[in-house]
């Protein structure tokens, strides 16, 4: 099950330290302009080695389009994308080839398959998410032509939360942080963290604007359900919220409901989704990412023979995987949206274009 989507189907393959990673996008509408450099921006946003706060593995991440594009346009046939792995340092992993790193997938893969590729985490490595981002670029292009944008930002780093919100600031700092004045504080926090050898969790918010009402398939292919799956399936994610999320548990009905007037919705507690279907308001979702599991501080574990070991993870790792998760989360949201758009078009005849007036839909919500 390495495929996501029902009509815009993305199948990824590849291991962290294998010869290549790649994906096949099946079901892309024909006629979409597509070139190798379309992928540059988002892959760079996701890439390691981009600042001292992320892993120092250098990923060139040059995308080769192997099929499905003719004279610069998608033909409707499968689009295969390939990226060669150029800087694996598998020797970093020799020491842990037979150990189960705590909080890693090692233990589970081993018990499931009876065999695993230990080099860099193999298939369970976040390296695989590169192809999600690449596929997401194709989805975003199609969505953008219909006025739909998908943007994310970091909304929590450890226990630090934004003190303000300026969407123009997000892409100007390596943290995808929406409040400029806090950036020095974050830099200092990360420096201390890195020195300590420990790691920290984070929270990412994603907002999709311009989605017309009507996308989403009740009852088991609901838009929020599929967003939840797509986002929870990102490495390290342990929680997903739509709209107000867990805060609703303590809310009253009169507080939580989004009243509607002729000028539009008066609020957006629902996060743009009602009954599993988009309402025309901005889609808001949030994810929580656990702290990086690969840390230098030793932890108790077992090796494959069952003997106790103290695991120390060397290699190049982000002290906070959540930071780079921002473009990945955007990509997953975009993949869900295009898929739902095509499903809606199949059943109902068009993708829907007229979003209602949404005064309650300011960014961020």
Q: What is the three-class DSSP state of 267?
A: coil
| 125 annotated binding-site participant | yes
Phi-psi region of 4 (alpha: psi -120 to 50; beta: other; left: phi over 0): beta
Residues of span 180-219 touching a copy of itself by CB under 8 A: 198-203, 212-219
Residues of span 317-336 touching a copy of itself by CB under 8 A: 322
Length of the chain: 365
Residues of span 142-171 touching a copy of itself by CB under 8 A: 156, 158-159
Convert 66-104 to b/e letters by CB count within 10 Å (16 or more is b): eebbeeeebeeebbbbbbebeebeeebbeebeebbbbbb
Q: Say how far apart CA 106 and CA 121 lie, in whole Å.
A: 7
**Binding characters for a copy of itself, 71-90, by CB under 8 A (x = yes):** --x-xxxxxx-x--------
Tokens of 314: 């060397």
Q: How far is the CB of 285 from a copy of itself (least distance, A)?
A: 10
Say if residue 68 is preceded by a cis peptide, omega within 30 of 0.
no
**Binding characters for a copy of itself, 252-291, by CB under 8 A (x = yes):** xxxxxxxxxxx---x--xxx-xxxxxxxx-------xxxx
Q: Which residue number, 149 or 256, has a Cβ lying nearer to a copy of itself?
A: 256
Q: How far is the CB of 146 from a copy of itself (least distance, A)?
A: 12
Q: Which residue number, 2 or 41, has a Cβ lying nearer to a copy of itself?
A: 2
**Spacing of C-alpha 353 from chain mean position:** 26
Q: How far is the CB of 85 from a copy of itself (least distance, A)?
A: 10
**Binding characters for a copy of itself, 109-138, by CB under 8 A (x = yes):** x-xxxxxxx----xxx---x----------
Question: Taking CB under 8 A as the rule, does residue 337 contact a copy of itself?
Answer: no
């Amino acid at each position: 099950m390495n495929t996501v989507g029902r009509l815009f189907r993305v199948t990824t393959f590849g291991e962290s330290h294998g010869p290549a990673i790649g994906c096949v996008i099946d079901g892309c509408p024909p006629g979409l302009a597509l070139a190798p450099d379309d992928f540059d921006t988002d892959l760079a946003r996701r890439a390691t080695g981009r600042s001292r706060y992320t892993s120092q593995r250098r990923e060139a991440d040059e995308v080769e389009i192997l099929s499905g594009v003719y004279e610069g346009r998608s033909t409707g046939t499968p689009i295969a994308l390939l990226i060669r792995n150029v800087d694996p340092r598998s020797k970093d992993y020799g020491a842990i080839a037979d150990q189960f790193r705590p909080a890693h997938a090692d233990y589970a893969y081993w018990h499931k398959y009876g065999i695993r590729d230990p080099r860099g985490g193999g298939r369970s490595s976040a390296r695989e998410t590169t192809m999600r981002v690449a596929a997401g670029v194709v989805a975003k292009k199609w969505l953008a032509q219909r006025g739909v944008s998908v943007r994310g930002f970091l909304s929590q780093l450890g226990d630090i939360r934004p003190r303000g919100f300026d969407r123009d600031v997000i892409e100007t700092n390596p943290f995808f942080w929406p409040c400029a004045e806090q950036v020095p504080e974050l830099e200092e926090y990360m420096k201390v963290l890195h020195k300590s050898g420990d790691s920290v969790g984070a929270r990412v918010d994603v907002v999709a604007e311009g989605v017309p009402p009507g996308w989403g398939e009740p009852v088991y292919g609901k838009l929020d359900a599929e967003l939840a799956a797509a986002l929870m399936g990102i490495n390290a994610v342990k929680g997903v919220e739509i709209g107000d999320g867990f805060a609703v548990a303590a809310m009253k009905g009169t507080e939580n409901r989004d009243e509607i007037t002729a000028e539009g919705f008066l609020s957006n507690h629902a996060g743009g989704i009602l009954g599993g279907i988009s309402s025309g308001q901005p889609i808001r979702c949030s994810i929580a990412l656990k702290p990086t599991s690969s840390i230098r501080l030793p932890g108790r574990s077992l090796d494959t023979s069952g003997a106790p070991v103290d695991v120390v993870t060397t290699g190049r790792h982000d002290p906070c995987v959540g930071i780079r998760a921002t473009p990945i989360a955007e990509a997953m949201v975009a993949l869900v949206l295009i898929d739902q758009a095509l499903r809606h078009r199949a059943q109902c005849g068009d993708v829907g274009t007229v979003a209602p007036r949404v005064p309650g839909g300011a960014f961020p919500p």
